[in-house]
């Protein structure tokens, strides 16, 4: 197997850039599709006992919010999940449910889930997410600088930002609602993807020590070749577990599983094709020599 | 037969036994071991229930706010206790919020109404006109009347005092004299239930009044509490509500368990195919990992939530990773021509720094998540953190121990079975 991530960096960077640019353009033009936990809103999930066409379900909701999103869920599509950006209070929620209850002869148990989020919650979640990512990033940068060197840290963080941007872009392109589960999953991906990157960097560090007179790009390619099986095998096992969860899980867990799937894929890609080439660029730009110099690396 | 083989068989037997008891539980005499499923606390999203987050609508900060939040919490606790919910969980979050978690409720709507209401307490005349509400009550405590009988002392704020003065004055004017006492009754109504119906004996102008009757200290204290509880010291707004019906909770749990089991099975098979003998060892180590992680979970009384399950399954992926790193290293060492034993030893040594560096960075992310997340995100972070620590432990100690044991068993010397070419 011939791998040259340095040579192919124009292509691999290009693919990522393309996805991110399309995602960002769509984000700027039509905005992200935020979940109700960000915008504030109400979710009502009702078991109607049989599959009722969405248009019919919508008739009652039209009296409240014509823009409500209504989707089927559960076995045989017996359930409907109604989401609206209006945060209805308890009485209003009961009123809405009671109309469905009367219309379809339901029990009180048929109201399987109701959620309400005030608008202030979303802003705070976003702010917290931002702070979390910032702190985690600095923390990891410090650790990597301490264990490796600053350039490795920078490259790892670049890969990590890449993963988050890819996640955001995919959500923006596919118009999937960004909610707090997505944020949590992205934060986890930050941890997961850096794990992948570190494994590669660790090998580069080791190979630098071992083979003193090799150019960086060769060292990188050897290191990636040595670790690629591990990267793929690990990602494959994790992907299998998370994908099964996505296929079999209920709505709430799908919200977690999907960004994890995207994140694991992006993370594996970036740890192979983004992190090391970025490190290479940083390294050759700084030292203007693309060979190991004992004075520049302390590992 | 060598000792290692006996030990290995023993380990497998113990593992099977523990796994069995983890799934089904067992009973030996009086000693009952419950299955893990019964021991793990489920979060509301899995057990069904209600959580409500209330936010104080106030500009106050610091100690003043903290004090009032504590009072509010105590009052809500009182209200919730009336619902007869087992183990209600009420916590103050973020200084100005209260999260109320109630599992397995008969009537969640009623609960939500009850928890968030600021002023459910009303003082009404017999015509049903509201004179003052619980918001106007500043003090409600046990006192003694002139005859040294227990009574309830009330104090209104200035607005309440004014209203009360007008109303009591009016009543005294309209129904003067002792014989009209019964017309001068003011009902104290909590949630449409009359908790006390004292009659007015004079115009009360200073906002201080005493309810007396034939109270014992206990019943007076009870009434004082009820009146106090009617008025939350802060206006609480409902900012987040989640009501999970019991069927959804059960469905979520069952589906996640099925998904987890299938995912796990696939991982086990994949490891066997990819790494053969070490793959088998990894599967054993993974089983041990799952048992320990669940054990820690039960031990620290963590609540298992849906995101927690996702976190746990992801952590299994990470536990696999540590093993994969080690085995790939061993393969490399074998390729260089080392014997199985030295390959395993040096493979481990080489893999160790990688595993530690890689996991510490993830640990940093997990800790940050735990500190900054709330609710569901925290559940996710907890399982992930437990998973990380336990997976490092099993990969480092148990996988190594088992691998060495398998080598000592001397069943095969085929490098191929250890992943060599």
Q: pLDDT per residue over A65-91, tens digit each?
A: 888 888 888 878 888 999 998 888 888
Tell me: pLDDT of A276 over 90. yes
Q: Do B260 and A74 touch (CB under 8 A)?
A: no
Mean pLDDT along residues A272-289: 84
Asked if residue A96 is part of any domain, the answer here is: yes
Tell me: pLDDT of B150 over 50. yes
Q: What is the overall mean pLDDT for chain B?
A: 82
Together in a domain, A178 and A125: yes
Together in a domain, A175 and A67: no
Q: Do B361 and A234 touch (CB under 8 A)?
A: no
Final residue of a structural domain among B116, B148, B174: B116
Together in a domain, A66 and A81: yes
CA distances (Å), origin B363, targets A73, A163, B387? 36, 18, 10
- The answer to whether the CB of B296 falls within 8 A of the CB of B390 is yes
3-state secondary structure of A53: coil
Band of pLDDT at residue A299, cut at 50, 70 and 90? very low
The backbone torsions φ and ψ at residue B150, rounded to the nearest 5 degrees and listed phi first, read -60, 140
Q: What is the CATH number of the domain that holds B333?
A: 1.20.1640.10
Together in a domain, B264 and B408: yes
Mean pLDDT along residues A235-261: 88
Neighbours of B127 (CB within 10 A): 5
Asked if residue A14 is part of any domain, the answer here is: no
Final residue of a structural domain among B116, B136, B160: B116
Together in a domain, A91 and A189: no
Together in a domain, B333 and B408: yes
- Best of A129, A187, A260 to substitute, by most chain B Cβ atoms within 10 angstroms, is A187
Stretch among A46-50, A198-202, B32-36, B129-133 having the lowest mean pLDDT: B32-36
Together in a domain, A108 and A126: no
3-state secondary structure of A262: helix
pLDDT tens-place string over residues A154-187:
999 999 999 999 999 999 999 888 888 888 788 7
According to the 3-state scheme, what is the secondary structure of chain B? CCHHHHHHHHHHHHHHHHHHHHHHCEEECCEEECCHHHHCEECHHHHCEEEEEEEECCCCCHHHHHHHHHHHHHHHHHHHHCCCCCCCEEEEECCCEEEEEEECCCCHHHHHHHHHCCECEEEEECCCCEEEEHHHEEEEEEEECCCCCEEEEEEECHHHHHHHHHHHHHHHHHCCCHHHHHHHEEEEEECCEEEECCECCCCCCCCEEEECCCCCHHHHHHHHHHHHHHECCCCEEEEEEEEECHHHHHHHHHHHHHHHHHHHHHHHHHHHHHHHHHHHHHHHHHHHHHHHHHHHHHHCCCEECHHHHHHHHHHHHHHHHHHHHHHHHHHHHHHCCCCHHHHHHHHHHHHHHHHHHHHHHHHHHHHHHHHHCCHHHHHHHHHHHHHHHHHHHHHHHHHHHHHHHHHHHCCCCCHHHHCCC
Domain containing B217 equals 121-230
Asked if residue B274 is part of any domain, the answer here is: yes
Together in a domain, B373 and B254: yes
Rounded to an integer, what distance in angstroms lies between the CA atom of residue A39 and that of residue B270? 42
Asked if residue B31 is part of any domain, the answer here is: yes
pLDDT at B421: 54
Mean pLDDT along residues B357-380: 79
Together in a domain, B253 and B380: yes
pLDDT tens-place string over residues B176-218:
888 888 888 888 887 667 878 888 888 888 888 888 877 888 7
Q: Pairing relation of β-strands B137-144 and B89-93?
A: unpaired
B385, B391, B393, B399: CA torsion to nearest 10: 180
Final residue of a structural domain among A117, A148, A178: A117
Element (H, E) at A111: strand A111-117
Q: What is the CATH number of the domain that holds B187?
A: 3.30.1360.200
The region, left, alpha or beta by phi > 0 then psi within -120 to 50, assigned to residue B303 is beta
What is the share, in percent, of chain B residues with pLDDT greater than 70?
Answer: 93
- Greater confidence (B134 vs A56) lies with A56
pLDDT at A1: 63
Final residue of a structural domain among A85, A117, A149: A117
**Relative orientation angle of helices B62-81 and B217-230, to the nearest 10 degrees:** 120
Maximal CA-CA distance, chain A: 80
Together in a domain, B319 and B303: yes
Q: What is the CATH number of the domain that holds A198?
A: 1.20.1640.10
Q: What is the CATH number of the domain that holds B94?
A: 3.30.70.3400
Domain containing A92 equals 41-117
Taking contacts as CB-CB distances below 8 angstroms, the residues of chain A near B358 are: 194-196, 198-199, 202
Single out the residue of B97, B101, B91 nearest to residue B244, CA to CA.
B101
Asked if residue A147 is part of any domain, the answer here is: yes
Stretch among A224-238, B26-40, B233-247 having the lowest mean pLDDT: B26-40
Asked if residue B349 is part of any domain, the answer here is: yes
Taking contacts as CB-CB distances below 8 angstroms, the residues of chain B near A187 are: 365, 368-369, 377
Asked if residue A70 is part of any domain, the answer here is: yes
Band of pLDDT at residue B230, cut at 50, 70 and 90? low
Nearest to A112 among B245, B263, B384 (CB): B245
Single out the residue of B347, B365, B357 nearest to residue A204, CA to CA.
B357
Together in a domain, A280 and A229: yes
Asked if residue A213 is part of any domain, the answer here is: yes
Together in a domain, B315 and B177: no
Together in a domain, A157 and A111: no
Q: What is the overall mean pLDDT for chain A?
A: 86
Asked if residue B239 is part of any domain, the answer here is: no
Together in a domain, A95 and A126: no
Together in a domain, B22 and B84: no
What is the share, in percent, of chain A residues with pLDDT greater than 70?
Answer: 95
Asked if residue B294 is part of any domain, the answer here is: yes
Rounded to an integer, what distance in angstroms lies between the CA atom of residue A180 and that of residue B250? 23
Find where tokens 């033009």 sit.
A29
3-state secondary structure of A238: helix
Q: How many CA atoms lie within 13 A of A14 on its CB side?
A: 6
Min CA distance, A81 vs chain B (Å)? Answer: 12
Together in a domain, A92 and A144: no
Rounded to an integer, what distance in angstroms lies between the CA atom of residue B50 and that of residue B60? 28
Tell me: pLDDT of B418 over 80. no
Band of pLDDT at residue B66, cut at 50, 70 and 90? confident
Together in a domain, A181 and A48: no
Q: What is the CATH number of the domain that holds A70?
A: 3.30.70
Rounded to an integer, what distance in angstroms lies between the CA atom of residue A240 and that of residue B260? 10
Taking contacts as CB-CB distances below 8 angstroms, the residues of chain B near A256 are: 306-307, 310, 380
**Is the CB of A219 inside 8 Å of chain B's CB atoms?**
no
Single out the residue of B376, B394, B308, B387 nearest to residue A192, CA to CA.
B387
Element (H, E) at A252: helix A251-273
- The answer to whether the CB of B156 falls within 8 A of the CB of B164 is yes
pLDDT at B323: 86
Single out the residue of A260, A73, A263, A240 nearest to residue B310, CA to CA.
A260
- The answer to whether the CB of B75 falls within 8 A of the CB of B118 is no
First to last CA, chain B: 29
Asked if residue A6 is part of any domain, the answer here is: no
What DSSP assignment string belongs to A126-187? HHHHHHHHHHHHHHHHHHHHHHS-HHHHHHHHHHHHHHHHHHHHHHHHHTPPB-HHHHHHHH
pLDDT at A2: 73
Asked if residue B131 is part of any domain, the answer here is: yes
Nearest to A191 among B245, B354, B362 (CB): B362
Together in a domain, A136 and A270: yes
Together in a domain, B369 and B271: yes
Residue B57: burial class (beta carbons within 10 Å; 0-12, 13-18, 19+): exposed
- The answer to whether the CB of B381 falls within 8 A of the CB of A149 is no
Rounded to an integer, what distance in angstroms lies between the CA atom of residue B279 and that of residue B378? 33
Band of pLDDT at residue A126, cut at 50, 70 and 90? confident
Asked if residue A36 is part of any domain, the answer here is: no
pLDDT tens-place string over residues B261-288:
898 899 999 989 888 888 888 888 888 8
- Greater confidence (A224 vs B128) lies with A224
First to last CA, chain A: 29
Provide the residue count of chain A: 299
Q: What is the pTM of this model?
A: 0.77
Together in a domain, B163 and B281: no
Final residue of a structural domain among B196, B230, B264: B230
Together in a domain, B147 and B12: no
What is the total count of domains within chain B?
3
Neighbours of A235 (CB within 10 A): 22
Provide the residue count of chain B: 421
Band of pLDDT at residue A22, cut at 50, 70 and 90? very high
What is the total count of domains within chain A?
2
Band of pLDDT at residue A49, cut at 50, 70 and 90? confident
pLDDT at A298: 45
A85 DSSP 8-state letter: S
Min CA distance, A266 vs chain B (Å)? Answer: 16
Tell me: pLDDT of B307 over 90. no
Cα of B126 vs its chain's centroid, Å: 45
Extract the tokens encoding A209. Answer: 């020590």
Min CA distance, B259 vs chain A (Å)? Answer: 5
Tell me: pLDDT of B136 over 90. no
Together in a domain, B254 and B393: yes
Asked if residue A10 is part of any domain, the answer here is: no
Final residue of a structural domain among A95, A117, A139: A117
Together in a domain, A75 and A87: yes
Nearest to B113 among A90, A112, A227 (CB): A90
Q: Do B247 and A47 touch (CB under 8 A)?
A: yes
Together in a domain, B289 and B405: yes
């Amino acid at each position: 197997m011939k791998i040259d991530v340095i040579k192919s960096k124009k292509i691999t960077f290009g693919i990522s850039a393309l996805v991110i640019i399309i995602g960002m353009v769509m984000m700027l033009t039509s905005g992200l599709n935020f979940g109700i936990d960000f915008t504030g809103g109400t979710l009502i999930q009702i078991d109607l006992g049989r599959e009722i066409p969405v248009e019919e379900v919508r008739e009652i909701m039209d009296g409240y919010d014509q823009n409500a999103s209504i989707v089927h869920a559960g076995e045989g599509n017996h359930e409907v999940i109604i989401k609206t950006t209006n945060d209805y209070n308890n009485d209003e929620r009961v009123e809405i449910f009671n109309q469905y209850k009367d219309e379809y002869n339901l029990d009180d148990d048929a109201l399987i889930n109701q959620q309400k989020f005030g608008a202030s919650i979303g802003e705070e979640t976003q702010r917290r997410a931002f702070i979390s990512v910032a702190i985690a990033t600095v923390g990891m940068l410090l650790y990597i600088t301490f264990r490796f060197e600053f350039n490795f840290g920078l490259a790892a963080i670049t890969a990590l930002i890449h993963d988050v941007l890819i996640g955001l872009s995919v959500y923006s392109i596919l118009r999937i609602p960004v909610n707090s589960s997505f944020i949590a999953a992205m934060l986890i991906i930050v941890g997961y993807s850096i794990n992948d990157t570190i494994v590669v960097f660790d090998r580069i560090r080791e190979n630098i020590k071992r083979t003193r007179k090799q150019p960086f790009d060769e060292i990188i390619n050897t290191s990636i070749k040595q670790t690629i099986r591990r990267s793929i095998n690990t990602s494959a096992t994790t992907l299998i577990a998370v994908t099964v969860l996505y296929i079999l899980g209920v709505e709430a867990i799908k919200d977690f599983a999907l960004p994890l799937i995207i994140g694991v894929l992006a993370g594996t890609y970036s740890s192979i094709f983004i992190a090391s080439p970025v490190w290479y660029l940083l390294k050759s730009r700084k030292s203007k020599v693309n060979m190991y110099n004992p004075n520049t690396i302390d590992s | 037969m060598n000792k290692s083989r006996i030990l290995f068989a023993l380990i497998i037997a113990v593992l099977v036994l523990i796994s069995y008891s983890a799934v089904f539980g067992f009973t030996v005499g009086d000693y009952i071991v419950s299955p893990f499923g019964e021991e793990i606390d489920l979060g509301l999203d899995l057990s069904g229930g209600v959580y409500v987050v209330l936010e104080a609508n106030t500009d106050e900060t610091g100690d003043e706010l903290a004090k009032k939040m504590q009072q509010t919490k105590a009052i809500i606790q009182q209200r919730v206790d009336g619902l007869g919910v087992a183990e209600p969980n009420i916590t103050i979050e973020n200084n100005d919020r209260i999260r109320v978690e109630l599992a397995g409720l008969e009537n969640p709507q009623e609960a939500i109404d009850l928890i968030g209401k600021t002023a459910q307490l009303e003082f009404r005349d017999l015509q049903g006109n509201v004179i003052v509400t619980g918001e106007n009550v500043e003090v409600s405590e046990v006192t003694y009347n002139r005859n040294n009988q227990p009574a309830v002392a009330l104090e209104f704020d200035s607005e309440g005092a004014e209203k009360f003065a007008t109303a009591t004055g009016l009543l005294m004017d309209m129904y003067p004299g002792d014989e009209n006492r019964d017309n001068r009754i003011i009902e104290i109504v909590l949630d449409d239930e009359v908790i006390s119906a004292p009659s007015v004996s004079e115009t009360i102008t200073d906002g201080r009044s005493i309810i007396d009757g034939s109270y014992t200290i206990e019943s007076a204290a009870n009434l004082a509490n009820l009146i106090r509880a009617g008025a939350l010291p802060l206006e609480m707004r409902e900012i987040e509500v989640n009501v999970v019906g019991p069927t959804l909770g059960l469905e979520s749990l069952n589906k996640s368990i099925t998904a987890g089991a299938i995912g796990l099975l696939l991982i086990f098979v994949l490891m066997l195919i990819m790494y053969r003998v070490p793959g088998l060892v990894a599967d054993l180590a993974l089983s041990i990992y799952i048992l320990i992680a669940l054990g820690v979970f039960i031990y620290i009384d963590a609540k298992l939530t849906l995101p927690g399950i996702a976190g746990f399954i992801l952590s299994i992926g990470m536990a696999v990773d540590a093993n994969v790193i080690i085995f790939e290293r061993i393969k490399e060492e074998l390729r260089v021509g080392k014997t199985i034993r030295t390959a395993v030893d040096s493979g481990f040594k080489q893999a160790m720094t990688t595993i530690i560096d890689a996991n510490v960075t993830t640990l940093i992310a997990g800790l940050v998540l735990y500190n900054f997340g709330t609710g569901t995100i925290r559940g996710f972070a907890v399982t992930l953190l437990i998973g990380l620590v336990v997976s490092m432990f099993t990969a480092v100690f148990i996988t190594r121990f088992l691998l060495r044991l398998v080598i000592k068993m001397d069943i095969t010397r085929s490098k191929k079975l250890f992943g060599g070419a």
